[in-house]
Amino acid sequence: VPQPLIKGRCMVFRKMPVDRVAQIVEAATLYYEENLGQEQVARRLGVSKATVSRLLRKARELGIVGITVHKLL
């Protein structure tokens, strides 16, 4: 499970503006927890769908979001 505050990633968070981290977390929350589509997230945040896609990718890269596939076979 990715952990956002381990040594290497902690440095990334320190270099990133707080409002950017907050935007990444908000996009991930709306998309993954509230099940909104990228277009809906974009409207809520006042950004483009492409920006939402980048924010979600960054959330995964930073360990803010972790995706697990449970194989049933």
- C-alpha span between 54 and 10 (Å, rounded): 20
Query: What per-residue string of b and e applies to 14-49 under the rule 16 or more CB within 10 Å gives b?
Result: eeeeeeebebbbebbebbeeeebebeebbeeeeeee
Q: Which two tokens stand for residue 41?
A: 């997230």
Question: How would you write the pLDDT of the chain (73 residues) with one tens digit per residue?
Answer: 455 554 555 556 677 888 999 999 999 999 999 999 999 999 999 999 999 999 999 999 998 999 899 999 8
Cα distance between residue 27 and residue 31, in whole Å: 6
pTM: 0.79
